[in-house]
């Protein structure tokens, strides 16, 4: 019953809120049509994806394997200071947008599946 009330409330009030506070991308600030996504397509697409041939992947994997603490490394994104990924991560972390974490987590899961990597834990490096 509460879920139905929330949906009805959202259907009624969301257009008003969108008119007063138009939804914008958390990274570039451009207007977006889907407030749930929080990030425009251009910003998602601008995030550099890690491949197994990426220089940074080789460098990081080498360091971690030499440390003896990990057996394998899978990585999904390259962190760039002031890049879209940083803006998204900060919005997720400091502005209470957990839906962004779900989307990032799905991408990490895709990489692990594609690379046939299993993990006991996932950490950021």
- For binding to Zn ion (CB under 5 A), which residues are involved? 25, 27-28, 40, 43
Which lies closer to Zn ion via its Cβ, residue 48 or residue 70? 48
Closest to Zn ion by CB, 43 vs 76, is 43
Q: What's the min distance (Å) between Cβ of 107 and Zn ion?
A: 17
Structure tokens at 37: 């996504």
Closest contact distance (angstroms) between CB of 36 and Zn ion is 15
Q: With beta carbons less than 8 A apart as the criterion, state whether 104 and 91 touch.
A: no
Shortest gap between Cβ of 90 and Zn ion (angstroms)?
14
Please say which residue, 76 or 85, places its beta carbon nearer to Zn ion.
Answer: 85
Nearest C-alpha neighbor of 103 from the set 28, 29, 26, 30: 26
CB proximity list for 89: less than 8 A, separation 6 or greater:
79, 100, 104
């Amino acid at each position: 019953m509460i879920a139905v009330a929330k949906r009805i409330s959202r259907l009624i009030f969301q257009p008003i809120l969108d008119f007063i506070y138009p939804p914008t991308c958390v990274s570039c600030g451009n207007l977006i049509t889907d407030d749930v996504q929080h990030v425009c397509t251009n910003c998602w697409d601008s995030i550099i994806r890690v491949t197994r041939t990426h220089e940074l992947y080789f460098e990081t994997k080498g360091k971690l394997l030499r440390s003896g603490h990990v057996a394998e490394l899978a990585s999904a994104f390259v962190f760039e200071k002031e890049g879209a990924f940083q803006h998204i991560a900060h919005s997720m972390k400091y502005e209470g947008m957990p839906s962004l974490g779900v989307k990032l987590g799905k991408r990490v899961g895709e990489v692990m599946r594609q690379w046939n990597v299993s993990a006991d834990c996932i950490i950021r490096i």
